[in-house]
Amino acid sequence: MATRDAQELETAIIGEGGAVSAVRSHGQWLAHPQGKAVAELGLMDFDASADEPNDTRLDQLRSPGPLPCSGLRVLDLTRVIAGPVATRMLAALGAQVLRIDPPAMPELELSVLDGMVGKRSATLDLRAAVDRETFERLLPDADVVVQGYRPGALAALGLDARALKQRHPHLVTVTLSAWGETGPWAERRGFDSLVQAACGIALACGTGGEPGALPVQALDHATGYLIAAAVQRGLTQRVRTGNAAHTQLALTRTAAWVIDQSADDTPVGEIDAEPYLVEVPSLAGPLRCLAPPGMLDGKPLAWPSGVPAVGSDVPHWH
């Protein structure tokens, strides 16, 4: 690899189905065709089109309760960090979150412990007729579908946001991609670290011309909370107008927003994490993790449950 040009390698690896990015400066990214496409996107591209809804339940929320999302049902088709951060936040806000995973695509244990807290977990092979039928039975009674797979992956199964809206106009949908859904990289796989490399963050965090990285997967986490906000905004749109909304988010667009913020070099001292930690059950034993952010009526939010085993639940709504 050391004997080859970085962008030549990028093209070759992508051509073989890999996920990769050459390191670029911010200026190089802005001049790149995909960087130009991303520059046209909003931080949250919110589509509240005036399509006529044909579902009489659109102006109602199911079983209002004490939390902002009490009684709502969320289908979670996400993996790794950004999408799971969003849907675990919705669970903390009262939603019943049912995550659906393919049976032959295992998740890293750390990602399960971090991203599954507060949810239910079921496995379905959406390419198999029986499992697809089960999934289709979930959709009429769901309120929200959050998708975090590579653009085109769910469209091939007729489960992209546009297709879902045609069959189930009551659904609020949010889709997440790495590079945005327009431009030459629209269908590429990607994740936080690759986006940092592509858009100039890695060089900005490096020293002596060597790339570095942000101290956390900040693009993933920031985008996750933006997704949770987009879901609530879409639900508000549904209640006010009877028309469910769709929102698109991209890690690269979040990266552009982060880069545009003014830097604060004020040193940060040691932070005592103890006040923010809670204990929840998991198959790995008691898990000490961060409580969900936020307060309600002067009390901190809490995870509604611990971490389920992957695929341990039946795919139906409680």
Average pLDDT over residues 62-91: 91
Report yes or no on 268 lying in a domain. Answer: no
80 found inside a domain: yes
Beta-bridge mates of residue 174: 146, 247
Q: Is the residue at 212 inside a domain?
A: yes
pLDDT in tens, 257-279: 999 987 788 888 898 999 999 99
What are the C-alpha distances in Å from 20 to residues 98, 152, 212, 215? 31, 18, 16, 20
Please enumerate in sequence order all residues whose Cβ is within 8 A of that of 176, keeping only pairs 6 or more positions apart, or say none: 78, 82, 83, 86, 146, 147, 148, 223, 227, 248, 249, 250, 251
**pLDDT > 70 in the chain, percent:** 95
3-state secondary structure (DSSP) of residue 258: helix
- 54 or 17: which leads in pLDDT: 17
Asked if residue 315 belongs to a domain, the reply is no
Question: Which ranges in the chain belong to alpha helices (H)?
Answer: 6-15, 26-31, 33-39, 82-92, 109-115, 129-138, 161-167, 192-199, 201-204, 218-241, 251-260
CATH number at residue 199: 3.40.50.10540
Distance of CA 187 to the CA centre of its chain: 16
Residue 126 has pLDDT above 80, yes or no: yes
Residue 100 has pLDDT above 50, yes or no: yes
Least confidently predicted of 181-190, 259-268, 293-302: 259-268
Which residue range is the domain that position 75 belongs to? 24-257+275-300
309 is a domain residue: no
Q: For the residues 187-207, what does the mean pLDDT come to?
A: 94
- 262 within a domain of the structure (yes/no): no
Asked whether residue 299 carries a pLDDT value surpassing 80, the answer given is yes
Structural domain contains residue 46: yes
pTM of the model: 0.92
Asked, for residue 10, whether it belongs to a domain, the answer is: no
Least confident of 79-83, 114-118, 177-181, 258-262: 258-262
**Structural domain count of the chain:** 1
d(CA 138, CA 51): 23
pLDDT at 209: 83
Contact 107/79 with Cβ under 8 angstroms?
yes
Q: Is the pLDDT of residue 51 over 60?
A: no
